[in-house]
C-alpha cells in the first residue's frame, strides 16, 4: 500500500511540474475575464483657467469689478453648467475639439455653456496688462496682405464687433490659411460645426453687455476702442505660428 501511494504521489508531482507556471493573480482569475469589455474612459470635462493677471490689471481699460464678476460669476457658471450637461446627457468626447465638432448634435445647455467656457479661457489669454500696440512678424505681414494694414484690420474688426447684434463675439480666424473676421452669436465660436465661418481662432472680443456695461454702459464703441490697448499680440502671434 505504501509503495502504491508513493507511486501516485510521484506521478502527480510530475504532472504538476509539466504545467506552465502561473502567477498568484492568474490562479484567482475568473473564467471569461478576458471577454469583459474595457471600462470606458472618463468623459472630457471643461475647466476654467486661472486668470493670468489680477482683476485690476487691465485698468483703466477694463475695470476690476467687471473682471471679477465676469470671471468668478459668468465664466464659473458656464463651467458648472456644461459639466452638469455632460454627465446628465452621458456625453463622452475626448477633448474640446471633438465636442465642438459635434455642436449641431448637442443640447442647448451643453453647446452654449461649453462655448462659454472655451471662449472665455481664450478671451482672458487674448489680453494682458501693458500690451496693446501693434502686431509684428509673420502675423503683421499676413494682416497687411489681407486687410491692407493693421489700422484697416482694426477698423474692420471693430466694425464687426460693434455690429454684432445682441450678445456675441467678434473673431479673427485662420480659415484654411487665410485670415478672416467673423462674428458669432451668444457663446458660439468658429470651432463649432454650426458656425457660418469655421476656422482656427486667433483673437476674440466679448461683446456681451456683461463684459463692459459697468464701465461703459451702452457705449460698446468706447469699450471696443479701449480694448485694443490690452490686446496681447504676442499670444495672437503664437496662435498664428
- Phi and psi (nearest 5°) for 201? -65, 140
* Predicted pLDDT of residue 19: 38
Give the torsion through C-alpha atoms of 159, 162, 168, 170, to 10 deg: 20
Give the torsion through C-alpha atoms of 152, 231, 203, 211, to 10 deg: -110
Q: Which long-range contacts (CB under 8 A, 24 or more apart) does 139-145 make?
A: 139/233, 139/236, 139/237, 139/240, 142/179, 142/240, 143/179
Per this entry, what is the length of the chain?
A: 241
Domains of the chain, earliest start first = 62-241 (3.55.40.20)
pTM for the predicted model, two decimal places: 0.83
Give the torsion through C-alpha atoms of 18, 24, 28, 30, to 10 deg: -80
Taking only the tens place, the pLDDT of each residue in 41-83 is: 789 999 999 999 999 999 999 999 999 999 999 999 999 999 9
Predicted confidence (pLDDT) at residue 23 exceeds the cutoff of 70: no
Return the H-helix or E-strand segment holding 143: helix 137-147
Q: Which residue has the cell 463675439?
A: 169
Predicted confidence (pLDDT) at residue 9 exceeds the cutoff of 70: no
Predicted confidence (pLDDT) at residue 25 exceeds the cutoff of 90: no
* Cell digits of residue 240: 498664428
60 upstream amide cis, omega within 30 of 0: yes
* Predicted pLDDT of residue 42: 85
Taking only the tens place, the pLDDT of each residue in 146-184 is: 999 999 999 999 999 999 999 999 999 999 899 999 999
- Average pLDDT over the chain reads 88
* Cell digits of residue 88: 446628465
CB 127 within 8 A of CB 194: no
* Predicted pLDDT of residue 51: 98
Amino acid at each position: 500500500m505504501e509503495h502504491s501511494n508513493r507511486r501516485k504521489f510521484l506521478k502527480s508531482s510530475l504532472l504538476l511540474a509539466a504545467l506552465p507556471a502561473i502567477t498568484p493573480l492568474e490562479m484567482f482569475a475568473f473564467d471569461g475575464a478576458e471577454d469583459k469589455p474595457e471600462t470606458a474612459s472618463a468623459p472630457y470635462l471643461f475647466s476654467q483657467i486661472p486668470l493670468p493677471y489680477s482683476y485690476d490689471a487691465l485698468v483703466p481699460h477694463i475695470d476690476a469689478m467687471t473682471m471679477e464678476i465676469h470671471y468668478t460669476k459668468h465664466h464659473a457658471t458656464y463651467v458648472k453648467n456644461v459639466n452638469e450637461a455632460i454627465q446628465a446627457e452621458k456625453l463622452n468626447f475626448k477633448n474640446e475639439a471633438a465636442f465642438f465638432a459635434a455642436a449641431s448634435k448637442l443640447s442647448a445647455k451643453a453647446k452654449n455653456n461649453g462655448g462659454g467656457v472655451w471662449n472665455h479661457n481664450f478671451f482672458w489669454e487674448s489680453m494682458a496688462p501693458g500690451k496693446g500696440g501693434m502686431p509684428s512678424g509673420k502675423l503683421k505681414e499676413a494682416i497687411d496682405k489681407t486687410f491692407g494694414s493693421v489700422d484697416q484690420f482694426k477698423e474692420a474688426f471693430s466694425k464687426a464687433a460693434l455690429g454684432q447684434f445682441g450678445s456675441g463675439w467678434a473673431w479673427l480666424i485662420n480659415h484654411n490659411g487665410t485670415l478672416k473676421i467673423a462674428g458669432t452669436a451668444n457663446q458660439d465660436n468658429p470651432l463649432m460645426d454650426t458656425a457660418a465661418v469655421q476656422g482656427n481662432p486667433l483673437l476674440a472680443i466679448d461683446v456681451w453687455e456683461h463684459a463692459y456695461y459697468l464701465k461703459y454702459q451702452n457705449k460698446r464703441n468706447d469699450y471696443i476702442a479701449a480694448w485694443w490697448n490690452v490686446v496681447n499680440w504676442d499670444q495672437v502671434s503664437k496662435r498664428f505660428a
